[in-house]
Amino acid sequence: MTTTPLRTSHTTDHLDLLESHAIFILREVVAECERPVLLFSGGKDSAVLLHLAVKAFAPQQLPFPVMHIDTGQNFPEVIAFRDATVERVGARLVVAKVQDSIDQGKVVDPGFMGSRNRLQTVTLLDAINDNNFDAAFGGARRDEDKARAKERILSFRDTFGQWDPRKQRPELWQLYQGKVNAGEHVRAFPLSDWTELDVWQYIERENMALPAIYFAHDRDVVLRDGMYLAIGPFVEPRESETVERRTVRFRTVGDANCTGAVLSRASTLSAIIDEVALANVSERGATRADDKFSETAMEDRKREGYF
Amino acid sequence: MKLATKDLLRLATIGSVDDGKSTLIGRLLVDTRQLFDDQLDAIAEASEKRGVGDLDLSFVTDGLRAEREQGITIDVAYRYATTPTRKFIIADCPGHVQYTSNMATGASTADLALVVLDVASGLKEQTRRHLCIAALLGVRSIIVAVNKMDAVDWSQLAFDRVVDEIVTLARELDFTSVSIIPVSALLGDNVVESSSNLPWYDGPTVLDALESSEAGAWEHTATQGARLPIQWVLRQPGGGRTYAGMVNGDTMHVGDRVTLLPANVETTITSLHFGGDEISEATVGLAADVGLAAETNAGRGDLIATAPLPTVSNELKTTICWFGEKPLVVGQRLRLKHTSKVTPVRVKIINGVIDIAKLDIDDSTMLNTNDIGLATLQTAELLVVDDYRVNRVTGSFVLIDEATNATVAAGMVGHASFL
């Protein structure tokens, strides 16, 4: 028998505590709920979440499927990473497509270049209903947004999928309780207490793979509303705009037509960690057009059932 | 640049409404440069729109629309701060009595309470209530920010008067570490920067006090025996089983003699794993899995323990913070969640409600919303418990409404010595 002592068997640092807390939450929800699912976009946070889920149930297979809400406006590198990762961990992938919600007439196609961000909520709630999921794990973190900062780790959703910030269940100690009645569900956020920097430090420590677009590369971009958007199938330059070749990376991964790139030469994890530690703009502020609509954009979307 | 290994300190702000909790946290985050430029810009814009000055610091944590409209905190906001050696998880709790359950949510995992009070009004009843709840929840260290010193002309006399009140109450509630600091959250005096307006004070700032407080007090309150409540059973290749759960109380090692409860089977730890890798010991707070020598039918809700062993019982003497809308009465049936076990429970006796002003027990036989009382509970299944003051994990439980699944009470096994 070979025994590998934990690197942290004597001192426990903040990453160890965050990691074990997340694993505890994953196990607790799986034990209490009938049909959990893990929301996996291929972004860094959901990659960390899936990595933790594999650890929580090793050496067994994941006791739940993973689901991607596909807006159809993805970066191809991210979809490739999604498929490779799901295959590597042997998970079952459910893909719910916003295009299907559009085809069924449930939401209106915003047209070419229009944001499908808000439409995802309908697709997500339908997929939760159709599959009878009663718990959905998400990689959201409280440091991302002021409405998320208010949300419980296990966040109750009524039969309409709504979050009511005035009626949250008290969440005492580590006694997470995920019991719901038929048609209701909980969202579970094991990374609630992680910051962007914690996520990157953990990715480095665990030597995790990520989509290539997180690392610095040369790309054709246009500057629009203060953000560099990548020219591609979902973004075409407007008449007044000049296409530039810049060295960029993505700090977050959302839809290709509303996720901005940041100018960066950080091509390794340690360079990214240095960059994140010194950043003076938040990751959503730097890169997400969808959060700039109003003061309470995230709260409003969450109330409707958004991630 | 190599980022140093950090420890983790969890703190909750407590105190009455309008004494400046959110403003203090806002000031702390702004002056330690934890906020990004775009976040500061958004707060400045929102402040201007609502006509509350250049930068309303309370907007840093009061992120909901209703909170900004009403100028109050409704639910806990979690914020994060880092210094070179420490990560802080800050739970900014609401002050209103109607949101006491949210305050208890924030304080239940805190190593330390940051108490904020207005120097002009001193210890209000709501501040006493919060301090009492924090003490019951096992918080042993408090930092008291005596706020709005600018409004009393930085008067040492006004400060000293409040200090006497705090010291008296802190002694009654058995807090072991108490720092009392005169501050102005609005102007920033003694929050991060020392104040030149308070020449008579030469103690620490709030940040100094936070940096020198003991981290991890929450996890390490337990002093007796290792405990692992089983969450999930994992099948190992080759046919064996391991039992997954978070270790608390003490480190577990391969070879330790343990008892599986409530079955009362004595056996030995044959293996420890983390994330599929074998390890030789599992420290407090690790989500590990354990292999046992004995063939057992152990499962979720059972507990693996080293001596001294916890108590096995279906009748518990408890302290209860009641959040239900209707009163809790004798004979009432609910569901109880303790560690990984859920069981039906009935209220056998209500032994009285805590009088916050006198810190003693009256002879009430029901608990109204936000009352804290003593009750004897009878559970359908056997529970494996420690007194809450010995172990916060095996000593705590919640009560759940059977119809709505809402959490309606926070419960602790045993009762505090000051009662």
pLDDT digits (tens, 9 = 90+) for A252-277: 887 777 788 888 999 999 999 988 88
Query: Residues A148, A72: one domain?
Result: yes
Does A58 contact B at CB distance below 8 Å?
A: yes
Structure tokens at B40: 């500061």
* pLDDT tens profile B121-133: 999 988 998 999 9
Arithmetic mean of pLDDT, A82-92: 95
- List the beta strands (DSSP E) in B149-264: 177-182, 227-229, 232-235, 241-246, 252-253, 257-261
3-class secondary structure, A196: helix
Which of B5, B37, B104 is the closest to A172 by Cβ? B104
Same domain, A251 and A159: no
**Domain identity same for A152 and A267:** no
Is residue A1 one of the residues assigned to a domain? no
What would the pLDDT profile of A280-291 be if each residue is shown by its tens digit?
777 777 666 655
Write down the pLDDT at residue A2: 38
Q: Which of B65, B337, B400 sits opposite A299 (nearest CB)?
A: B65
Cα angle value B388/B393/B394 (rounded, 5°) = 65
Nearest CB to A24; choose among B39, B64, B246:
B246
A147 contacts in chain B (CB < 8 Å): 63-64
Say how far apart CA A47 and CA A208 lie, in whole Å.
9
Report pLDDT digits (tens) over B6-41. 788 999 999 888 888 888 988 888 888 877 777 778
CB contact under 8 A, B410 and A174: no
| Together in a domain, A65 and A178 | yes
Residues A214 and A183 in one domain: no
Token digits of residue B224 = 């007796």
Strand partners of residue A137: A38, A188
Asked if residue A275 is part of any domain, the answer here is yes
Residue B255 zone, left/alpha/beta (φ > 0; ψ -120 to 50; rest): left
Least Cα distance to B106 among B173, B25, B189, B191 occurs for B25
pLDDT at A15 over 50: yes
Asked if the model's pLDDT at residue A4 lies above 50, the reply is no
In a 3-state reduction of DSSP, which class is residue A43?
coil
Residue B208 C-alpha from the chain's centroid: 22
**Nearby residues of B185 by Cβ (< 8 Å), 6 or more positions away:** B20, B23, B24, B26, B27, B57, B116, B145, B147, B148, B191
Q: What is the pLDDT of residue B1?
A: 38
CB contact under 8 A, B393 and A197: no
Q: How many A/B residue pairs have CB atoms within 8 Å?
A: 203
| Superfamily in which the B227-305 domain is placed by CATH | Translation factors (2.40.30.10)
- Please state, for a pLDDT cut of 90, what percent of chain A lies above it: 48
Q: Which residue has the higher pLDDT, B305 or B418?
A: B305
Does A8 reside within a domain? no
The helix or strand, by DSSP H or E, that contains position B106, with its residue range, turns out to be helix B100-107
Nearest of B121, B119, B67 to residue B96 by alpha carbon: B67
pLDDT band per the 50, 70, 90 thresholds, residue A294 = low
Global pTM value: 0.89
Q: What does the alpha-carbon distance between residue B120 and residue B19 come to, in Å, rounded to a whole number?
A: 10
pLDDT band at B336 (very low <50, low <70, confident <90, very high): very high
Q: Chain B: nearest CA to A100, how far in angstroms? A: 33
CB A282 within 8 A of CB A288: no
Decide which of A166 and A185 is more confident: A185
User: Mean per-residue pLDDT for B32-56?
Assistant: 77
Nearest to A218 by CA among A188, A187, A249: A249
The H or E element that residue B168 is part of is helix B156-172
Q: What is the pLDDT of residues B339-384, one digit of tens each?
A: 999 999 999 999 999 988 788 899 999 999 989 999 999 999 999 9
- Whether residue A280 and residue B78 make contact (CB cut-off 8 A), yes or no, is no
Q: Is the pLDDT of residue A8 over 50?
A: no
Q: Beta-carbon neighbour count of residue B168 at 10 Å? A: 11
Q: Is residue A151 part of a domain?
A: yes
Please give the average per-residue pLDDT across A18-23, as a whole number: 96
pLDDT of residue A9: 38
Kindly give the interhelix angle for A269-278 and A196-206, rounded to the nearest 10 degrees: 160
Strand stretches in chain A, DSSP E = 36-39, 66-70, 93-97, 135-137, 154-157, 185-188, 217-224, 227-230, 244-250, 261-263
CB contact under 8 A, B287 and A56: yes
Instruction: Name the residue range of residue A93's domain.
Output: 14-199+296-304
Both A107 and A238 in one domain: the answer is no
Does residue A5 lie in a domain region?
no
In terms of pLDDT, which residue wins out, B415 or A226?
Answer: B415
Confidence of residue A7 (pLDDT cuts 50, 70, 90): very low
Write out pLDDT tens, residues A109-154. 777 667 777 778 888 888 999 999 999 999 999 988 888 888 899 9
Question: Does the residue A9 lie in any domain?
Answer: no
In this complex, is the C-beta atom of B280 within 8 Å of any C-beta atom belonging to chain A?
Answer: yes
* Domain ranges (residues) in chain B: 7-211, 227-305, 311-413
Domain co-membership, A142 together with A189: yes
B52 touches chain A (CB under 8 A): no
Contact (CB<8Å) A280/B39: no
Please name which of B252, B187, B191, B186 lies closest in space to residue B225, comparing C-alpha atoms.
Answer: B252
- Measuring CA to CA, which residue among A182, A56, A113, A128 is closest to residue B246? A56
Residues in chain A closer than 8 A to B108 (CB atoms): 172-173
* Alpha-carbon span A75 to A230, nearest angstrom: 10
Number of structural domains in chain A:
2
Q: Do B36 and A279 touch (CB under 8 A)?
A: yes
- Identical fold, B7-211 and B311-413: no
Please report the pLDDT score of residue A112 as a whole number: 64
Query: Do A74 and A169 fall into the same domain?
Result: yes
Report pLDDT digits (tens) over B228-253. 999 999 999 888 899 999 999 999 99
Model pLDDT, residue A289: 60
What topology is assigned to B311-413 in CATH?
Elongation Factor Tu (Ef-tu); domain 3 (2.40.30)
Angle at Cα B169 formed by Cα B164 and Cα B170, nearest 5°? 95
Structure confidence at residue B52 as a pLDDT band (50, 70, 90): low
The CA distance from A13 to B219, in Å, is: 13
| Residue % of chain A over a pLDDT of 70 | 92
For residue B2, pLDDT beyond 60: no
* Same domain assignment for residues A195 and A216: no
Please indicate, yes or no, whether residues A114 and A260 belong to a single structural domain of this protein. Answer: no
In chain A, what residues touch B37 (CB-CB under 8 Å)? 280-281, 285
Tell me, yes or no, whether A126 lies in a domain: yes
Q: How far apart are the first and last CA of chain B?
A: 52
CATH of domain B7-211: 3.40.50.300
B207-227 average pLDDT score: 77
Q: Are residues A27 and A115 in the same domain?
A: yes
B104 to chain A, any CB pair closer than 8 A? The answer is: yes
Rounded to two decimals, the ipTM of the complex is 0.89
Distance from CA of A112 to the nearest CA of B (A): 29
| DSSP character at residue A289 | G
Question: Closest to B406 (Cβ–Cβ): which among A2, A4, A169?
Answer: A169
CATH of the domain at A163: 3.40.50.620
* Residues whose CB falls within 8 Å of the CB of residue B325, separated by 6 or more in sequence, listed in order: B369
- Which residue type, as a one-letter code, is found at position B257? R
Query: Does residue B37 sit at the A interface (CB-CB below 8 Å)?
Result: yes
Please check whether residue A7 lies inside any domain of the structure. Answer: no
Selected residue of B86, B283, B392 to mutate for chain A interface (largest A Cβ count, 10 A): B283
